[in-house]
Chains A and B, each alone.
Chain A
Amino acid sequence: MSFESIGDFLAMGHHGAYVWSAYGLTLLVLTGNIVWPIMARKHYLQVEARRLRREERA
């Protein structure tokens, strides 16, 4: 453990703003990259399933 306290950890020795903004942005980008294909797949499957039903009825 290289920090004495939680406050110490958050401050990152006056570099807190740099370290946390870099990690925050990375978390955002990585999450977005995972969420997008999951949502797009869900959307595609729904649209296609509806299309197949319509074609079945027709």
Chain B
Amino acid sequence: MTWTLFHKLGSPKWFYEISSRWLPGLACAAVLLLVTGTVWGLVFAPEDYQQGNSFRIIYIHVPAAFLAQSGYIFLAVAGLISLVWKMKLADVALQAAAPVGAWMTVLALVTGSIWGKPTWGTWWVWDARLTSMLILLFLYFGVIALGQAITNRDSAAKACSVLALVGVVNIPIIKYSVEWWNTLHQPATFTLTRKPAMPAEMWLPLLIMVVGFYCFFAVVVLMRMRLAVLQRESRTAWVKAEIERTMPKRTLR
């Protein structure tokens, strides 16, 4: 990345303009992928010979768990950029992504619990994978609470960045929890080195769902960032012009 691009990325106005061009495409991709993946996974994928149809929960559980972890790594990267270069937009990104990541963690935990009941015979066990995911949720809560508790924007940015960076140690713990400890949880479905242990008509829709969830995450985070940028820059001429443009006089009483 060249430095000019880096500085441009730090400009809220530039971000606001470029993101409005990315959003429609990303949103279309998200809808298309999520609908395709869901229909394929629910209707056309063959049933699992051991778990029956309850295995179809995989098509939302695994993507949600992916995003829960990727979302936290995103927070940590944004936190690093915000700490080192004091880039305001990185703090905007961190604050915007934290609630979305938390929701993904909730989804992963809840769908996992629903899947666990027919598969393991229990809704919850205090095993390494599940516990470390619960800790991830609390880390998200910590970042969100810290961001809201500190009114000074610069101090809040610093505190949240540090927490995001420290908490990232939990990510490899989650990843390797199924190898380091005895666990009920099955090992990873996708790895970079091996072919998935399931047939293509089972893992292809899963891959589509994972990519779809990434697009969805990007859309939601961009939307939240755009709103935050408007709020933070509300005194500038370009935001006033944008408000004029989107809210013409006759729409207001």
Contacts and interface: CB of A to CB of B under 8 A. Distances in A.
Interface stretch (B41-49, B127-135, B138-146, B149-157): B41-49
A52 B54 CA distance: 55
Interface string B214-253: 0010011001101100110010000110011011010110
A21 B100 CA distance: 21
B58 to A, nearest CB: 10
Contacts of A21: 114
**Contact-residue size bin, chain B (C-beta under 8 Å from the other chain):** 35 or more
Interface residues of A, number: 33
A52 B240 contact: yes
A19 B56 contact: yes
B72 interface: no
Secondary structure call for the B interface: helix
Nearest to A38: B223
Secondary structure call for the A interface: helix
A15 to B, nearest CB: 4
Nearest to B53: A12
Contact of B243 (A3, A18, A49): A49
Given A3-B43, A40-B227, A26 B114 contact: no
Contacts of B52: 12-15
Contacts of B103: 29, 32-33
24 contacts: A2-B44, A9-B42, A12-B52, A13-B53, A15-B53, A18-B114, A18-B118, A19-B53, A19-B57, A22-B110, A23-B38, A23-B42, A23-B57, A25-B107, A26-B64, A26-B111, A29-B107, A34-B223, A37-B224, A40-B227, A41-B230, A50-B252, A52-B243, A53-B252
Interface of B: 34, 38, 42-47, 52-54, 56-57, 60-61, 64, 100, 103, 106-107, 110-111, 114-115, 117-118, 216, 219-220, 223-224, 226-227, 230-231, 234, 239-240, 243-244, 246-247, 249, 251-252
